[in-house]
Structure 1
Amino acid sequence: MSTTDASTSVSYLDDLAPGQRFVGSMRLQVDAQRIKSFAAEFDPQPFHLDDDAARGTLFRGLAASGWHTAALTMRLLVGKDFPLAGGIVGAGFDELRWPLPVRPGDTLRVECEVLEVRPSKSRPEQGLLKLRTTTFNQHDQAVQISVGTLVVPRRGKGS
């Protein structure tokens, strides 16, 4: 996961350091039908399902569920830009915020910053990576900010 060679190598915990930043190249465009179909299955509230009903809410129009935004963010992370050894394995979140709604027509991208790298004392083959991930729309406005902890294998420690 380096900014210069993210697409060709896999990163282990030992390759990462606090302060490193990574900018994803993948983009996802969100359309109204996907917002509604996700909501119908997982978050069936009027402001996610119906354009007219949504206009009368605090969103003032159709908005994607925050959980849909989280799922889209995961899709943006899983790919060539963030190739962590062992995959993106979450251990939990310290923070998950949706400062702005995602709208039909928005195009999303992600940026990550390493906050902490901590080798495990009880499992020397792995460690924990604390990562701030910000999902932006096409106007470079943050639509989701999360701080999560990932389990990442260590290089040469049983990998």
Structure 2
Amino acid sequence: MSKQWYFDDFVPGQEIELGRRTVTEDEIIAFATQFDPQPFHIDKEAAAKSIYGGVIASGWHTCSMMMRIVVDGMRCEEASMGSPGLDGVRWLLPVRAGDTLSVRYVTKEVKASTSKPDRGVVFTTWIATNQRGETVCTIDGMAMFRKRPEGAAD
């Protein structure tokens, strides 16, 4: 069983490798058909004629896959309190069918709440790379976590 993460476990500079996921063309098209129906996401013929030369994942699909990798890769169900938002998202390279995404969770800053002593905010950068080690997407954001309760194991 993996570690349960609490606010107290995060330190600036920490990097956590979270896992990987391979994307298929069917899921790229299904996601985009519902949420981002631009031709280069949903139409193979139109995508082949686009600047991308083929179907690519929506950036929002890439972010959603990254979120899934984060949730699956970190045990924080007892401590996660959601997020007050993102400071930035960058889609640096297209994600294509057959690509395997890996996500690294980098802690930039931790800030204990002064008004609510049971929690704090962790400022992070998520970095998604493909199977060639190329960075395809970064997300700068923050997450709220509970502090470790008294008596909880490290």
| TM-score using structure 2 length | 0.91
Distance 1:27 1:135 in 2: 9
**Cα distance, 1:88–1:137 mapped onto 2, change above 3 Å:** farther
Quote the residue 1:4 is aligned against.
Answer: none
Unaligned runs of 5+ in 2: none
Residue 132 in 1 paired to residue 125 in 2? yes
Quote the residue 1:13 is aligned against.
Answer: 7
Q: Secondary structure at the match of 1:149?
A: strand
**Cα distance, 1:9–1:83 mapped onto 2, change above 3 Å:** same
Aligned partners of 1:78 and 1:88 also within 8 Å = no
Q: Secondary structure at the match of 1:27?
A: strand
Q: Secondary structure at the match of 1:134?
A: strand
Residue 142 in 1 paired to residue 129 in 2? no
How far off is 1:12 after superposition? 1.3
Match for residue 103 of structure 1 among 90, 96, 101: 96
Task: Give the root-mean-square deviation of aligned CA atoms.
Answer: 1.6
- Runs of 4+ in structure 1 deviating by more than 6 angstroms, as ranges, are none
How far off is 1:88 after superposition? 6.7
Identity across matched positions, percent: 37
Question: Over residues 65-97 of structure 1, what are the superposed CA-to-partner deviations in whole Å (9 max), with x where a residue is unaligned?
Answer: 000001100111112x32234237222111100
| TM-score using structure 1 length | 0.88
Distance 2:81 2:47 in 1: 34
